[in-house]
Structure 1
Amino acid sequence: MRMGTLLGAALATLLAAFLLAAAAEDHVVGGAAWRIPTSPGLYRAWADNRTTYVGDSLVFRFETGFYDVVQVGRREFDECTADDPYQLYRTGPAVIHLDSKGVRYYVCTVGNYCSLGVKMYVVVEPR
């Protein structure tokens, strides 16, 4: 009987992992493309209107060589700098897997694009 209990627990764990993976979502940042927004606050409004969970992914669609995505800290986000970046993505589209809860900050370091609104942050919730 003990073997059956262990097997049942293993199957339950496997099923739970499968269901979590199946529930994961890809979020296309901004709904279309990572670029200079047509209205101020576009990316803030986009992020405020969805919930992102651990296991989800952010998809930044941009043309390689014209934009990038840099994960930075809060200070750098506020100042539109990338002095000490966590991650740099120069090839589009960039797919970023959200593997832990917390706030993630992203900016574009091309020209003055960040100050023109090509920046956003998301709050990643536990599943």
Structure 2
Amino acid sequence: MGFERYLASVLIVIMLSFITSSQGYKFYVGGRDGWVVSPSENYNHWAERNRFQVNDTLFFKYKKGSDSVLLVTREDYFSCNTKNPIQSLTEGDSLFTFDRSGPFFFITGNADNCKKGQKLIVVVMAVRHKPQQQPPSPSPSSAVTTAPVSPPTLPVPETNPPVESPKSSEAPSDAVEPAPPEHRSGSFKLVCSTWLVLGFGIWVSMALGLENVVCFWANLTIIVTPLGELTLIREGAVPSQVDN
């Protein structure tokens, strides 16, 4: 029983708030003073203290036939032009309902009183629409994603890099050939060698006091005596004595 009462009270509050929001709020312009020339609070200061929304209503209190309320443009508001009103309220206690957001400009029908400050600017707030609720995103557990299966990779045969055969070094065509060795005559060598042997044999025989020194050179047999006598014998020839 208690829960039913609580639920009923909640529903009543919701309905009242809905009705209030749809019908708007009623504002009394000028408070107790009403729509007059010299209010206790400036009309624009009063409007700045309040928040106006679409469907709200302004209540203008004045004497019928002695005053009026004109809805004008911005230019006519600042110039207090009363000849081209958008809307005129002349019934005494007048009501005006805001049907859109934005600024509204009101002046009195008396141009002199308008210049003295009997005018009002009201700015109506824009309508705020509730953002649409997006459906909740599926949880990670409910959405099962399968990863794509990659095909098996085949082993790649190893390839040895080709071995470059060594390039045969080609001798340049303009290479200089070595000069052939000089061939000295065999007789010159024989003469020089013979005299060296003879000189050496004589020196040895004189130094050692030997009777004879026998040397062999090529096909010659050389005999040197201590007195310096030289004998040359060829193979198959009769010995001959050479005086030094």
Tell me the TM-score range normalised by the shorter chain.
0.7 to 0.9
| Count of aligned pairs between the two proteins | 111
* Residues 81 and 109, structure 1, Cα contact 8 Å, conserved in 2: no
| Match status 1:42 vs 2:24 | no
> Any unmatched runs of 5+ in structure 1?
1-14
Matches within 5 A, 1:5-84: 18=19, 20-21=21-22, 24-32=24-32, 33-38=34-39, 42-84=42-84
Q: Which amino acid aligns with 1:18?
A: I
* Residues 31 and 46, structure 1, Cα contact 8 Å, conserved in 2: no
What percent identity do the matched residue pairs reach? Answer: 25
Structure with more contact order per residue of length (Cα contacts < 8 Å, sep ≥ 6): 1
Q: Which amino acid aligns with 1:91?
A: E
TM-score normalized by the length of structure 2: 0.42
Shift of 1:111: 5.0
Larger radius of gyration: 2
Shift of 1:18: 3.4
RMSD: 1.9
> Any unmatched runs of 5+ in structure 2?
1-14, 128-244
For 1:19 and 1:48, the matched residues in 2 are separated by: 22
* Residues 72 and 107, structure 1, Cα contact 8 Å, conserved in 2: yes
* Residues 62 and 93, structure 2, Cα contact 8 Å, conserved in 1: yes
**Higher relative helix content:** 1
For 1:36 and 1:45, the matched residues in 2 are separated by: 15
**Higher relative strand content:** 1
TM-score normalized by the length of structure 1: 0.79
Q: Which amino acid aligns with 1:74?
A: R
Shift of 1:53: 0.5
